[in-house]
Each structure stands twice: as C-alpha cells, then as structure tokens.
Structure 1
Amino acid sequence: MIPVSLTIEGLYSYQKKQTVDFTKLTRAGLFGIFGQVGSGKSSILEAITFALYGETDRLDSRDNRKYNMMNLKSNEMFIEFVFVTGINNNMYMATAKSRRNSKNFDDVKTIERLAYKFEKNDWIPIELNILENVIGLSYENFKRTIIIPQGKFQEFIQLGNKDRTQMLKELFNLGKFELYFKVASIEKKNDENIHTLDGKLQQLGEINPEYIEQQNNLLQIITKQSDDFSKQLGAKQKTETELEQLKLLFDKKLQLQQRKEEKVSKHKDIEKIENTLKKYEYCILNFKNIFDKKEELTNEINKSQKLLDSDKKKLTLTLNNLKDLNNKFEKVKIEYDKKETIQKEIDELSKISKIIKLEFDCSEISVRLKKGEKISAQNLQIINDIKVEQKTLTEQLKTLKTQMPDLTELYKIKEWHTQNNNLFNALLEVEKEIKIIENDKLQVQEQYNNLCNSNNLLKNFKFDSYRIENIAKTINFLTTKIEENKEKILLIENELEHLNVQSKLEQYTKSINAGEPCPLCGSLEHPKILDIQNVSISLKNSRNCKNKIEKENTEIENSINSLNNISQKLLFKQEELNKNFTKKTDAFAKIEHHKTLFKWEVSDTFEVIENKFKLAEKLKVEIEIIEKTIEKNSKEIEKETKNKEKYKETLDKLNQELTNNKSVIELLKSQIEILKVNDFLNSDIEQLKNEINNKQNFIKKTIENFNLLNKQIAESQNICNNLTGKIGANKTILVNEKEKSEQINNKINEQLKNSSYNIEEIKNILLQEIDIDKEKLNVNNFKQAVLEIENQLKPITIEINNRVYVAESHNLLKAEILNLINNIKQLNQDFGKIKNEINKLNDDLLKIKILQKEGKSLSERAEDIKILKNLFKGSGFVNFVSTVYLQNLCNNANERFYKLTKQKLSLEITEENSFQVRDFMNDGKTRNIKTLSGGQTFQAALSLALALADNVQKIISSNHNFFFLDEGFGTLDKDSLNIVFDTLKLLQKENRIVGVISHVEDMKEEIESNLQIINNEELGSLIKPSWE
C-alpha cells in the first residue's frame, strides 16, 4: 500500500481542512513528519487507520469517540484517504465524516465511513470490508507491519511466544495448517464407515450356494402349476362375462319400470301446479304494477305530511331564538363603539413602557462606557511594553546568529573524523586479531613441543622453525617406525607359535612313565625322551615384547593423529594470519586515502569539533528560546491589537446606542396625547404590561362577542327564510300526491269489474311469490322424463328376448373363478417371494465381496489417518510451520541487522521461539536481546519490522515497499540517534519508502523531504511542507 493523499478537517487539533500530498513525500524515499510534542503529528496516522478500519488506539466506542475525536471549535469532522495497492496499482479511497448537532453542542452524529475504487475515471462505491481484503492485513497486524503507531515499534520483539505465533498465524494465513480437526473429522467419518460396513456384513450373514439351487428348482414347479390354473380360469371367465351382461339387462329393466310407476303417481300434482301458474300469471299481468304504484304513493303522502309538521315546529323555535339574539346585540354594540379610544390608551401605555426601559438602558450604558475607557488605556500600555521588549530580543537574536558556526561544514568535518576513527579502530581490530592468531599459533607450537618432549622418538625432531614440511617429515618417520614394529611383531608371532608347540610337547614328556604307552605314539618303550627347559619363560618374554611393541605402535598412531591435528591448526592459523595481514595493508591504505579527503582549512581535532557542536547546540537552544519568545510576543501584540480594535468598536457602539436611545425617548414622548408620562415614570414595567393586557383582552372579547352575535343573527334569519320556503313547497307536493292516489283507486275499481276475482283474492295470489320460469321448467322436465323411460324400456326388452337369469348358478361360477384366481395369486406370490429371495441372496453374495474389499481399504486408511492425527495434534504442525516462518523472518532480518551493526551482532531464534543476540565481539557468545542499547534495539526492531513488511507485501502480491514509523526517539542518546540516522540513510538506498514521525529537531536536519506540524492557538494544527 502506497498513500497518495490525506485530507483532514475537524479531527482532534486540526480545525481547518488540510491536505497532505504524499506523492511528493514518497518520491524522496525517506520523509519525515516533525513538530513539537502535542502538535498533532500522530493524528495523521490515526486518521489513516480510522478511515481504513474504523478503529483508533487512543479512543474506543465506550469513550464517546464520535464527540471526542471532533475538534471543539469545529462543527464537522472529515477524513479522506487515497492510496494505491496491488500488482495493478489499483486506487482506493476511504472516507469518514460526522457533523455536530447545531442545537445541541454535545450531540455529534454517528461517524459515517465509506469506501470507493477508482475505475473508468470515476469513484465507484464498494463495501468497507473490501478495504481490509485488498490491504491483506487486519487492524492489529497493519499497526505492526505497515503503519506502526507510537510505542508499538518494538512490540514484535517484546511479544510472548504465544502472541507472536498467533500474529504470524494471522499474517501468513497459517490457519490453513491447523489440520488436526479436519483429520479428526476424517478419522471419525472413516471409523463410522468401518462400523457401518461391519454392520452391513453382520446384516448380510452367511450365504449357502446349495440353498440357492434348491430354490431355483422350486420355481420351475410353481411355474407349471400356475400355467394350468390360468387355462381353466380363461374358460370360466368367458362364461361369467356373458351371465354378468344378462344380469345387468334384467336389473336395468326393473329400475326403469319402478321409475315409470313413480312418475305416474305424481301426475295429479303436476296438473295442480299448472293451474296455479295460470292464475298467478293473470294477476301479475293485470294488477301487480297498479297495486305497487298505489302503495308507493301512500308512503310518499305519509312522508310529506311528517316533513311538513317538522318544519313548522322548527320555524317557531328559530323565530324565538332570533328575538333573543337581537336584544343581546344591542347591549354589545354600545361597548364595541368604545374600542378605538381604549386601543389608543393601550398604544400610549406601550410607548411609556418603552420610555422607562430606554431610560434604564441609558444609565447602564453610561457605566459600561466608563469601564471600557479605562480598559482601553491599559491595553495601549501593554502593547507599548511588548514592542520595547520585542526590539531588545530582535537585537539579541541577530547577535547570536552571527556567533552560530556553519553546521553543514561541522557535520562534514565530524563525519570525516568519525570515519577516520572507524578506520583506525578497524586497523586496531585487525592488529588485535593478528596478535590473537599469533598467540593461538604459539599455543599450537607449544602443543607440538609438549608432544615431542613426551615422546622419546620425537625428541630429535624438534625444530626452531615450525614449518608444515618439518612436521610432515616427523609423521613420515613415525609411519616408518610403525611398519618396522609390525615386522617385529610378525617375527615375534612366529616365535610364539614355535614356543607354544614346545610347551605342548613339554606337557607330554611330563606324562610319559616307564611301562606305560606314549600318549602320542603308543609305544611302551621310551629310550630317548625330549629335554625341554624354560619354555614358559620364553613365552612370557615374547608376549611382553609383542605387547610393548603394540603399545608403542598405538602411541605412535596417537602421536601421528596429534601431529596431523597440529599441522591442520597451524595451516588454518597461517591462512588467517595471511588474511589479516592483507586486511592490515588495506586498512593502512584506506587511512592514507582518507587523509587525502580532508579538504578544510581548519585543523581542529575531533574533541574541538565536538565542543563547537556543543556550542552550536547551546546557541541553537538560546536562539530557539528567543525566537519562541519573539513569536509569543508577536502573537501577544497581535492579540492585544485585536483587543484594542475590539474595545474601540465596542465603545463606539455604546456611544451610538446612548445617542439613539435618547432620540427615541424624545420621539415617543411627543407621540403621547391622552395619558401623562410623568404619572407613570415611577411605575413598574410589569404593572404597565398587565394593564395593557387587560385592556387588550377587553377589546378582544368585545370584538369576538360582537362578531359572534352578528353571525348568529344572520344564520338564524337564513334558517327562517329557508323553512318558510320549504313549508310552502311541501304543501304543494302533498296536494299533488293525494290527487294521484285518487286516480289510481279509480283505475283499480274499473279493472276489478272485468275480473272473476275480488281484490282480496288478487292480493293473496300475488303474495305467493312464485318463480314462474322455474315451475314451468319442472313441469316440462317431468313430461320429458316419462317419455325417456318408455324409450329406454323398448330396446332392453328386445335384447333379453326369452332368456332367463339364474342368480345361484352365476354365484357358483363366481366362486370357482375366485378360487382359481386365489390359487394363481398364491402361486405368483410364492414365485415372487422365492425369486426375490434368490435375487437377494445373489446380490448379498456380491455385496459381501465388495464390502470385504472396502473393509480392507478402510482399515489401511485408518492406520494412515492415525499417523497424521498424531502429527497435527495440539497445533504441533502449525507451531512447526510458525517456527519455520519465524526462522526465515529472522534470517531475512539478519541480512540487514548484521550489516547495520558492522558484522558485530546477529539475531537468533531460541528453542522457545524467543529472540537472542549472538555477539561476535565476544567470541560469538549469545545474550538476551534486552541487553541491546537503545540504538541497537532500534536496529533490531527495524530489521525485523522491514523483514515482516517484505513478507506481507509478497503475500498480498504488492510491489510496493512502504513503511511508516511513529517513534519519538527522544529517549535515545546522541550515539544511538546517530545509529538511527545511519540506518535510515541505508534504507533510502534500498528503494524503500519510509516515513518517520518525531519531535527531535536533529532528525529534521537529516531528512530533507518533510512536513512540519505547528499547533496554532487560534487556528489549531497546521501542516507546512518543506518544499513550500
């Protein structure tokens, strides 16, 4: 990830919107962000991490983060961070913004975070979690590898074994090697498969092939019986079908005859229904409409009469109410006519209240004017005093700057002296190494002397010059001596063999007695017995001589080995000595060459240069103090000048306000006509307000009553007019309706004269409410049904002819057929059962073979799984892989750390996966990493952090090497700080992008491309780039 730009507004000490252009900083490779403690340097990194992850170390969600992150002088917080990452250099943007509630200062809205990707010349919104995916790091690991906040730089070294392993596990995705539970799951599944397979084998049991053959023979017998029964069944089923058809004809004929008789019994009811329909149709046609009209007119006449009576009653009540309203209106009108006079009194009382208020304000303004004039005079005195001090400080600053030496030249001279000291130290180290090697060589020569003195054979081989060739001669001599001794041993062994024979013969001669057979030849006579003497003594002497020679050979071989060892040591020490002599020559040459590089006129020693630096530091501190005082005084003058203008503006406003108030008082007095101002000057303003309110309420109530009564009178008059018109109209309607009713009665009487029914009979017929269409349909359906029955009976009678159906014979035939079907069914069931059994036995036999083969495979797999499970148990494999990664990380870090410490120190991993240091200045012995100095600890932490960052960049497929460090360095001494400077300069040569945040001014002078953060009391933190 490489930052492109960062915009901040309203975050912590940053008030105004400011943008950091990282492209100019990253182009330099090494850049810095500097400023005093508390100026807002670390807030830049915090803005980046919050925009990317929504997290911050300084505050969490319980600390009311959204309120505390926002600057107290700002109403809006905004962060915009743009960066590129990945192989394709894709550009992304993360934003975070929030606003303060304008009505409630303490209420800050929830911080809204958004993410975008730059595609096709536009910012496309994306999900927030995509940012973490493209960066490839969690929040915690991002702080450990890319942007390291203050106090976190040495965290990786200080982490415990468990935490460091967990960190590596997250960074390098080592969770994929956590295979124990997967293997356990596979083992469980494999065991379940074995148990399942065993269960299947138990269920299948044992199978006998002879039993299968018997069941096949039984199938053939069943098949033959089934065929015989099927032939008999076919003949009987044909006969039964014919009888079943005859039975159906007889049953259908009987049903039709019964239905015909049923219809004949209902014939009279149908005729009655037809007569009723004729009467009903006649009445509907001639009387229904006229009877309905008569009823409708009767209802209308009753309704009109009721409405007429109701309106007459309402008219009487409305006239009485109108009379009462006119009486009340006359009384209210008298009060209504007085409202203008009362309103004028209200206006004058309001003006008198304003006069009293203005008189009081004039008094207050006069007091404030006196105080303001006094403060303004004091302000002028302060400004004059500060200006005098400022002039004095400016002259002092000018004097100190003329005394300040040229630091650039001093640094170059100091660097020459430092390099010169390093070259001399290197020469001393080489000379020291030569002495050590020569001492080692003397010790080897002493070993050679001791060896020669302790060995009689070598006393004649001591040399004044310890050359390898002389030692080789000695070894050749000893080798020859061994060969000679071996020949002697061979001769002694031959002699021993002869003596052993002699010893055996001696034993035989001792066992020969006169008259007894010889144990060798069996002779009874022994004329000349062998005389052997001192054989055992000779044997003993020969054996001692052989042992002595063998012992000597062993000693000689040991001496040869010792001489070879000494020869190798001398050879090795001589080679080392030659190398160091070459180094010494090179060191002298470098020193002479370095002397030619001293091109300055001064010939000050290193100590003098150091003193000049101390003087420069002292002058620098004094200059900074004076500059800060001048800056502070300038701000104070600016502040007091603003106060002066503010005081003047305030006094002018007060004078103007006093004049305006007096003019308004005179104007208001001139506008009062009815009341007398002096009568109210001692009155309380609240009393005047109450009196005004009472008069206003009186006017308001009077107007409301007047308007209300006026409205009510108009409404009542309208109601009376409407009711009068409505009553007249209803009377006319009622007369018309009665005339129509009389006409309808005459028409009914005329029609009754021509009818055979009287009026009551007609009403009863109409009350029946018969559905004419439905009843006619029922009659027609009845007649049609009778005709259909007769038509169906004719063909059935012809088809039956003279045949007779006997149910007993039919039932007997059915029983025989059913018996045959059951027998065939039983045979088929037996056939299917046996056939299924045979098929099952054959299938089971095949399954058993397959299952046995699978069982063997599963058992072999179970053994393999057991081995894997033991390997992965207790995260053992993950810890092993973690150790490998840590070792590789340590190796990568050592490539830099070993060079940074000038081949004096290297990092190692202990068996507990902790860090230790191998010190090559102390015979390569190891010691705890906590024993390193401040500068060395920085080098170690930086080397590990860079190695870690390199590995992370490879994992996330990034071609960018970016690293940001927020470390104060204020606790480091001058030597440690120099180590940090040298280290950072080396990083700049490695094509890396490294950012440093610090408050140490010396670092600012070393890093040209930088940002200066200044915390202004009025404007907050301001960012000043070095190139502006």
Structure 2
Amino acid sequence: MKPLELTIQGLHSFREKQTVDFETLCKSGVFGIFGPTGSGKSSILDAMTLSLYGKVERAPSNTQGILNHAENQLAVSFTFSLGKHGVETIFKAERTFKRTKDNSLRQATARLIDLTNDSVVIADKAQDVTKEVEKLLGLSIDDFTRAVVLPQGKFSEFLSLKGTERRKMLQRLFHLEKYGDELNHKLKQRLTNENHKKELIEAEQTALGDASKEAVEKAKEQVDILDKQIELEKHALTKAEKEYDTAKKLKEQFEQLTEIKEERNKLEEQQGYYEQLKLTILSAKEANILYPYVKEVKESHHILKGIQAELESVKEEADTLKLRMDKCQQAYDAALTYQQKEEFSLKMKLENMKTLSRKVDHLNERIAENNQLSSEINELVQQEKSWRTTLETMKSKKTTYEKAQDALKQELSTTRPTSEEKQVLYKAKDAKQRLNYLKEQLNESLLELNEKVDQQKQADKEKTETEKKALDLTNELSESFKQLRFWYDQSRDKKKQTDTIIQQIEDLERSVKDKQQTEAIKALRNTLEEGQACPVCGSLHHTINTQKFDEIAVTTDVSTTHDIEVVKRDVNQIEKQLNEYCWSLDKAAQQSPVVPSQEVTDYDESGHENKTLPHVNDRAFNDQWSQWKKRWGSEQEAIEHVLHRWQENLNKFTSYHEKLSAHNQLLNQFNTQVLEAQEKVADKRSAYEEDMHAWETIYPQIVFTEVETEFQKLQEREEQAEVIRQRLDKSVSILEKLQEDIEGTSDKLQRVTIELSKKQSIQEEKKALIKEITNEIDTATGGKDVKDLIKRYEEDLHQIERATIIAKENVDEATKLHQKTVEKVTQLTHSIEEANNRFERANVNIERQLEESSFSKIEEVDEHLRENAAIHHMESQLSTYEHKQRDLQLQEKQIQEKIKDKRFSYDTFRILEEQCAELKQRLEDSRTAYGAAKHHLQELTDKMARFQSLESKRQDVSELVEQLTKLDKVFRGKEFVEFIAEEQLIQVSRLASERLKTLTRGRYAIEVDSTGGFIMRDDLNGGVRRPVTSLSGGETFLTSLALALSLSASIQLKGEHNLEFFFLDEGFGTLDPHLLETVVTALEQLHTTHLSVGVISHVPELKERLPRKLIVTSAEPGGSGSKVKIENL
C-alpha cells in the first residue's frame, strides 16, 4: 500500500481544505512532518484512519470531539495505490461528517472509489466502505495503526520491557488470545462433544442387548431345526393329501351320479309339454309361409277404400275453388279502374310538396346559422364583460403591490445589520468558541485527574487488601511450619524405632543360626563313641558346656513364636516411607519463606506419642506392632494433609506477594500519572484564564454569556433581511408580470369588442331572409307541415297501387289452385282402377294357397302366426331338451364305468379331511416359527454388525477422548500462549537483527535470552553479549527503530499488501547533535528497503537535515485553521 494524497477539512485544528501530496513527499524515502506542538501533525494520521475506517483511535467513542469547534462539517479523503505482481490499482476513500442539533457528530457520506481507469464506486455506505477497506488491506484499524504508526512515548518502551510484560504486549499486538482461552474453550467443547458421542455409542450398544457370536450360532441352530421339521411335515402332508384327493374324487363321482338320475327324472316329467311344443312349431312355420298372401289381400283392400274416399273430397274442393276464382277476378277489375282514375292527380300534388320541402330545408339551415350566430354573440358579450372586469382587477392589484414594495424597501433599510456589526460579533463568537474549547479541555483534564486519583485510591485499596491477605497467609505458613517440624520430629522418632526393630531382627537371625549350629553339634556328639576320634577335629576327648546349649534353646523357642520375615518386610517398607517423609518435611521447612517466632515445641498434636515397642522376641510384640502399624497409617494421612496444605499456602503466599509487587508498581504508575494530570490541569487553566482576560479586553461592550444570544439575534436580522430582499426581488417580477398581463388583457378586450359588432350586423341580414321564406311556405301549405303533406300523398298513392297488386295476386293464386285440383281428380280416377285390379288378384292367390294348406280360413292363419324369433326360441328349447337327455344318458354310463364296484363312506372321508387340515395347520405353524426364527437370526446378525461397527467407533472416539484429555492437560494455563509469544518474539528479533546490522554496519544483533528479555550481541567485539541498558542513546534509538519496523512488518503479514510507509510520531527533542546525526543517517538508510518513513517532530535540527518535509502551521485563534505546505532543500 502506497499513500498518494490526503485531504483534510474540519478535523481538529484544520478548518479549510488542506491537501497532503504523499506522492511527492515519499520520493526521497524519508520525509518529515514539522510544526509546533498542537499544530495538528498527529491529526494527519487521524485523517488517514478516519477516511479508511471511519474512526479516530485516540478520540472518545472514536469520533467524539474531532470536529473543529468553528465548523459544522468535516470531510476527509485518502488516495492510495495497491500493487501486486506489477499491477497497480488506485483507490480513494472519502467520508464526510456533520454536526447534529445535540452537538454530536453524524457520518453523512462515505464512498470507496476505484480510480484505476474510470471512476467506479465500490461502496457508498459507511459500514460497506469499512468492510471493503479491511478486505482490500487485510488489516483491521488496530492492525493498521500498529503497523503504520509508532506513537509518541512508545519508541523505546518495547526494548526496555521485562520478559513477561513484553510477551503480554506481543499477545495484544498479534492477537494471541486465540491460542489461550479461545483454544482451551474449543478444546473443552470438543472434549465434551466427544465424551457425549462416546456415551451415546455405549448407550446404543447397551440397548442392542445380547448380540454375541454365541447368540447368533444358537439362532442358526434353531433355524436349521425348524427347516428339517418343515420338510418332514411337508412329506406327511403330501401323503395325506393324495389319500384325501382320491376319496374326494370318489365322493364327487357318487354325488354326480345322484344328480344325473334326479335330472333325468325331471326331464321325463316334461316330455308331454315338449311334444305339444313340436306341433306348435310346425303350425307356426306353415302360417308364416301363408302370411304374405294374407297381407297382400288386406293391403290392396285398404288402399282401394282410401283412394275412393280421397276422390270424393277432391271433387268437392274443385267446386269451391271455382267460385273463389270468379270473385277474385271481379275485385281486380274494380281496383284497376280506380287506380287509373286517381293516380295522376296524387303524383302532381306530391311533386309540388317535395319542391316546398327543399325550401323548408334551406330555411332550417338559415335558422340554425342564426342560432349559432346568437350563441357566438352571447359568448362574446360574456367575454367582453369578463375581460373588462379582469382588467380593472389587475390595475387595482398593481397599485397594491407598488405600495407594498415601497414598505419593504423601508423595512430592509432598518433591518439589515452593518458589516462592522457582523465582523465584531463573528470574531467574538470565534473567540468564545476557543474559550469554550479550552474550558472543555480543562474539564476533560479535571475529569482525567479525578479518574487518575480514583484509580490511585483503588490501587492503594487493593494493595492494602493484598497486604492484609499476605499477612494472614504468613500466619498460616507459620502455623504450617510448626506442623512440619512436629511431624519431622515424629518421623525421626519412628525411624529410630524401626532401626531398633531391624537390629533386634538381625540379632534373632544370628541366634537362629547359632541354634542350628548347636543342634548339629549335639547330633554329632550323640554319634561319638568313647575312645574313638572325633570325625571333625580328630580329638579323643571334648568338654561340653551344657548350660550354654540350654540358654540357646530357650531363646530359640521364644523367637519361633514370631514371623520374622513378615515383620522384617513391613519394617523395611515403613522405614522407606519414613525416609521419604523426613526428606519432604525437611525440604519444605528449608524452603519456608517465613520462620515462626515461637518454638516448635509449642505445637500440640495430641494422640501421636511414640510409645516404646517391646522386644521382637517378646510375646506382646505382635499385638503392639499391629497397633503401631495401624496408627502409622493414620499418621501418614496426617502428614500428607500437612504437606498438601503447606504447598497450597506456599503457592498462595507466592501469588499474593507477586500481586503485592504488581500493586506497588501500579500504584507508582498512578502516582506519576496523577502528578502529570495535575500539571496538565494547571497548564489548561492558565491558558483558559489568559484567553478570558484577552476577551474582556477586546470585547468589553459584549457580555460573555450573551454572545450566542447576540449572534442569534444577528442571524435572525440577517435572515429577516434576506427574507425581505427575496420578497423585494419577487415583487419586482410580480409587478412586471402584472404590467404585461394588463397590456395583454387590454388587447384581448379590444379584439372581442370588434368581433361582437361584426357578428351582430350579419345576424340582422339573416333574420330578414328567414322571414321572406317563411311567408312563401305558409301561403303554399295553408299553414300545414310540408313533410306531413308529402307523407300523406305518398301513403295514398301507395295504397292505390298496393290494392291493385293484391287483387291481381289473388286472381293468379285462385286460378292455380283450381287447376291443380282438376288434375288431381283425373289422377285419383286412374288410381281407383289400378287398386281394384290388385285386390281381385290377391283374393284369387289366397284362395289357391288355403286349398293346399291345413288352414281353411284367413283367420286361422292369423291365429297360428308367430314371429321368427319366437319360433327359433321354441326350437332352441326343444333342441336343448333333447340334447340334455342324450348327455345325461352318456354321463351316467361314463360314471358307472369309473365307479364299477367301489364303495364310498362319508365318515372315512371326514377323517381324511380332518387329518389334512391338522397337517396343514402344523406346517403353517412351523413355517411361521421358521420365519420368526429367521427374522430373529437376521436381527441378531444386524445387531452384531451394528455392535461391531459401534465398537470400532467407540474405540476411535475413546482414543480421541484420551488424546483430547492429554491436550486439555497440556494446554491448561497460559504456557502455550507464552510459548507462541516467545516464538513470535524470536522471529521479531531475527528481523530486527537484520535491520540493525544494516543500520550499525554489521556491529549489533538482537537476541532473546532464557528469561524472554532482549540482549545485545556485539559482533565486532567477538560476539560479546551485553544488556540493552548498556547501550548509548543513539544505539538505543537504532535498536528501537529496528524493533519497531520489524514489529510493523510482522503485523503486515496479516494483510494482502505491504504497507510502503511508516510514521515515527516521536519528538526527538532530547537528542544531542551527535545522536541526531545518528538518527538521520539511520532514517536515510531505510530508503534502500522500498519503505518511506515519515518523522513527526518539532526539532529544528532534524528539520534542516531532511530533504523533504511537510510544514504544519498552527491555527489562529478565532481565525483560519491549520495549514500544510511541502518544502524541499
């Protein structure tokens, strides 16, 4: 990321828009930002973060108090470029803020623009701009400020911090919290989840029940048994079904034979009926053959009678039509004579009326024109009246506006404030705002002082509480120390007792050995004979001490009453425990940070006296030794409790003393801060009082508390004057418009008057013509309507013509009907002759057919006549009857042949049927059991597979739980975070060493020692290592600069692009000329690493050495704000 341009307006001490050309400043690699204290140098950095992220880190609530007190709007923009793989993209982030009514700040606009080619707006909302900037840079505002700016007072802090404090600082810089509490939380959450998974798996395994291989094998055996049982039952069922089928067939045959005999008996009973049916069929067929002849006789006779009746009717109709024809001819002749007489006269009258009708139409047109003309004249009269009224109104309105305009001019001259009044009041307002700003700063300083005092009191209170708790723990440690010493003495006493027992056991062992030797001697003595040599020594004579043998025997008898080996093993084990406890108790006492003031003998622990044990050879030893061991078991627990409590108290004591040390350090810091805050309050109060005195001197005529009121009145007068001025401007345009309207209205009124006179003259001429035509029409019609007369004449003429036509049509119609009737009479006469011949032929044919048949009359034929369907039905019945007789005879013969001499018993058949049903039920039950067993086997197989799958998962989850448990133990506390911080510190020190070697020409390097602190390695002096406190001022600066740049580079690793600039916000006011030379030389060397460094300072010597610099000029009280300009050597 490379800065190109920054614009500032209304931020802190900046009022007018100021532009910083970073592209020019960064060309030399190192540039300075110079200006007096409070001029606004650090505000340039604030403008960067405000334009990019919408926040100023050092401002309360990130934006509170950043707006210039004399401005109502703030605007910042930052143009920068991002380069990656040789491709450069230019962006511009801009934001504006406005003051609200409650004097707070509201973000008005925000935009992020891509300026690479054409201007493209990437985001236009505040949150969206911030998100896009973070996305582009890959850095939050905290990361950006830490990577770009090393603020005032922090230049050498990192170098001088102690190891623990430096690691804490690294944790904050690199957000290492995720490796601490966040990682532990995730680990515990994962462990809980995996434990829950394991519990669920184990619960599911329990729910599966017995799914072992033995249960599956047992289920398989049950399935095989049922399968064999089914095969046996199927074989038995097949055999029984064969016997049952044979008996069933025989039963069916006997039943069929019985049914056939019964059916034949029924057919014999119906034999008479079917004989009669056969005769009926023969008669019906013969009647059907004769029916056409009978039908012909009946039809020919019926036709003959019909034609004869129709002929009589037609003859009567012909006579009637002849009379009608004659009457129609007479009527036609009369109508024709009347038409010839009246038609000519009516046509003449009709033609005259049509001529008059045309004149009436012409008259109506003239009347319509006259009416239209009257309407136009009335409209023009109304227009003339309206325009005349409008003209009078406009003239009156113009007069009113002219009077009002004169009044406004008079009011403006008295309301508008003078420029001198405005200048004095504006300066007074700016001066008061400056005083208010100083007052606010003073109040903020007082609040800060009160806050620091409260923090000081709270730190002192916490220190007192910690001291009290530490004192209580000291007393507890003293009490624990007494207990340690008491149990140490008890353990030493018990160790002496165990040593005594071990010695007694060794003595007993020697006694046993002596006894065994004596017994051997006695046995050898008994084998000796008087006068023979000893087989051991060869002596012929031995003196035997019998008393010694007896004493040894007594001792040996007593010792055999104890299990020496068991006691010896117990004593050795207890002695080992005692040695360990003595060592632990003595070590704890030696490490004690406190020594009690009283003697340890004051400690009272009743019930723990070490009683002396009897000799191992004593008969009471066993009982007392058992009690001694039992008491030692309880004393072990007491010692463990004392050691555990001692360690807890010791840890608490150490912790509280560390806290006490931290409280002391914090209290010292707060004391320093309180003094600094008090000095700051004094400076602010002095500045405020000086400005207040200047106010009272410059503006004695203005009351300080009423400046806003006077300024408000001034603004109200200006607003009123502006309103009056706008009204005057508006009145001028209104009067001009009124004058134009008056002139236009006068022209329109004149045109309307001329047009009205013209149309009134035309109307008089039209009225005279209408009167003349009206008199002519009234004379010709006698006052009647012309159209009514035309209509009456046309109707009369039409009626005469229509009457003649109707009469002619009636004659033609009557003549035509009469002619048709005559023709029909002739046709019917001929038809009667043909019908009579047909009837005679039909009678001859039927008589000849009756003679050849069994019938004598036509009526008998009709009686036996049947439909063909009925005959076919009767034949079908007869045929079915005959075929059924034949089929039954054949079936009876076939069944008799099958049965032969066989016998059938219903009891035997029922037994076979019951046996089959029972076998079927048994087979079905077996199949059901087989299906259930097979299903059970499948369930067990599935359960076993599921159990094995779950077991595999459980083992995996158990292994993961074990690993997570180990990780949970490993990551407890902050050791891992401190480890990461230390690794990060080593990485930073390596980067810093590379830079420092360049800055010191290979002399110095930075290393991290075992305590996490920095140590310097002097490579030009044989690699000698020395503390950082031994460095000179210039060397300290170079080392701090290398560390700061390394920290910045490490933080930038989070981002997408390298930040090609860095600001040192450090005064450098305490450097002597030699150190200043070192600083400038080091900064100039940085140019080789493609990094631009901006130094913010007010030191003139540093200003003279830097080739490019940005000069920041302080704001003038009540005047213009801070200004910037670039200077070159």
TM-score (structure 2 length as normaliser): 0.36
TM-score (structure 1 length as normaliser): 0.39
